Amino acid sequence: MNPRVPVLVVGGFLGSGKTTLVRRLLADAQGRGLRMAVISNEFGELGIDAALLGAGEARMIELAGGCVCCSLSNELVETLVELRRRVDPDRIVIETSGLALPFDTQLHLYRPKVREWVGDEACVVVVDAERADEADPLFADQVHGADLIVLSKVDLVDTPTLDAARARVAELAPDAPVIEAVHGDVSVDLFYPRGPTDEGAGGAEDAGGRAERGAGGRAGHDHGHDHDHRAPHAHHHDAWTSTELRVPAGLSEDATFAWLDARKGARTKGFVATADGVRLVQGVGRRLELTEPEGPVAPELLGRVVVIRRRDG
């Protein structure tokens, strides 16, 4: 059984591009041979076909007739517990309805029977770049509670619209890293970050104690799509890089937090030796959590933290 299972809550207005993101995550899991479960609270709206779900041992469960952030929250918790017991998925995605509050949904991950095994969790809100001027207060509430924003359809808007969308998102969720998706193409590492123990993370270190590799982020216009010519601007480039940092040992937890916060990682993962003991660090944007690891940590892993950041500051 997986010791801890990463859980993503994916929210956003109807038509914002949630399903495109979930499909992307499913394809990635299948490519890695991982079992991913999707709990969908958007009955009848999902375009994911059964063939795609069946092929890679993905499992989809629909919770209908209510909202997972409130009226169906007990059902959500029961479903998570059952999934854990019967399927033991490697990854779980909770796709909330367009009317749900993703952050409120995320809070249910801290309830008993779930918090014991939920690992890295994050609340992702997908915002349609064409409709970021949405006046419905629910939209603002959804975006405000996000750990990560996916700004979708950036290839479909002109520069003023894109700039306005960026400004609105920055106003509503100033601490949330914003991932711009072109044709739904995003770096999955941002949703499932790797730590220094995970294969492929970090790479070889140079004398400066840092190593860099591409996190799969790429310039939006370089991947061969036949995109239209309404927005032929360089603004769409959204590149991310993964860096392994050496965190000083012996700092207090607060000082460690401040040290890491200053590095501005969109995702942060690794182990540090603080003055108060060894801590597992997991971060999404500025929400950095330092927790006591569940088992012993190999000495060579201490002080190694992988951060994913935007390539150009």
Residue 205: strand, helix, or coil: coil
Q: How far is the CB of 139 from Zn ion (least distance, A)?
A: 15
Q: Are strands 118-128 and 211-214 parallel, antiparallel or unpaired?
A: unpaired
Residue whose pair of structure tokens reads 């940092």 in the numeric block: 245
User: Per CB under 5 A, which region of 59-67, 78-86, 159-167, 269-277 contacts Zn ion?
Assistant: 59-67
DSSP letters of 222-263?
SS-----SS---GGG-B-EEEEEEEPPTT--HHHHHHHHHTT
Q: How far is the CB of 67 from Zn ion (least distance, A)?
A: 3
Beta carbon nearer to Zn ion, 69 or 154:
69
**How many residues in the shown chain lie near Zn ion by CB under 5 A?**
4
Q: Does 284 bind Zn ion (CB under 5 A)?
A: no
User: Per CB under 5 A, which region of 70-78, 234-242, 273-281, 295-303 contacts Zn ion?
Assistant: 70-78
Helix, strand, coil in percent for the chain, rounding step 5 = 30, 25, 45
Beta carbon nearer to Zn ion, 70 or 188:
70
The residue within the footprint of Zn ion, chosen from 26, 36, 67, 129 (CB under 5 A), is 67
By CB under 5 A, the residues from 91 to 120 that bind Zn ion are 100
Q: How far is the CB of 70 from Zn ion (least distance, A)?
A: 3
Instruction: Report d(CA 301, CA 247) in Å as an integer.
Output: 11
Is the alpha carbon torsion for 155, 159, 161, 163 positive or negative?
A: positive
Beta carbon nearer to Zn ion, 142 or 282:
142
The C-alpha R_g of the chain, in whole angstroms, comes to 19
Beta carbon nearer to Zn ion, 98 or 214:
98
Largest Cα–Cα separation, the chain: 58
Q: How far is the CB of 240 from Zn ion (least distance, A)?
A: 32
Q: How far is the CB of 110 from Zn ion (least distance, A)?
A: 16
For 211-263, list the strands marked E by DSSP: 211-214, 240-246
Q: How far is the CB of 96 from Zn ion (least distance, A)?
A: 8
Instruction: Report d(CA 236, CA 84) in Å as an integer.
Output: 39
User: Per CB under 5 A, which region of 68-76, 230-238, 248-256, 277-285 contacts Zn ion?
Assistant: 68-76
Residue whose pair of structure tokens reads 């992307």 in the numeric block: 24
Q: How far is the CB of 69 from Zn ion (least distance, A)?
A: 3
Beta carbon nearer to Zn ion, 69 or 308:
69
User: Per CB under 5 A, which region of 66-74, 142-150, 163-171, 178-186 contacts Zn ion?
Assistant: 66-74
Q: What secondary structure, in 3-state letters, does 169-194 show?
A: HHHHCCCCCEEECECCECCHHHCCCC
Beta carbon nearer to Zn ion, 68 or 273:
68
Looking at residue 111, its amino acid is: R
Q: How far is the CB of 218 from Zn ion (least distance, A)?
A: 36
The residue within the footprint of Zn ion, chosen from 70, 81, 164, 297 (CB under 5 A), is 70
With CB atoms as reference, the residue minimizing the distance to Zn ion is 67
For residue 180 the two structure tokens come to: 């711009």
Q: Is 212 exposed, middle or buried (0-12, 13-18, 19+ CB in 10 A)?
A: middle
The residue within the footprint of Zn ion, chosen from 8, 69, 169, 284 (CB under 5 A), is 69
Q: By the criterion CB under 5 A, which residues form the site for Zn ion?
A: 67, 69-70, 100
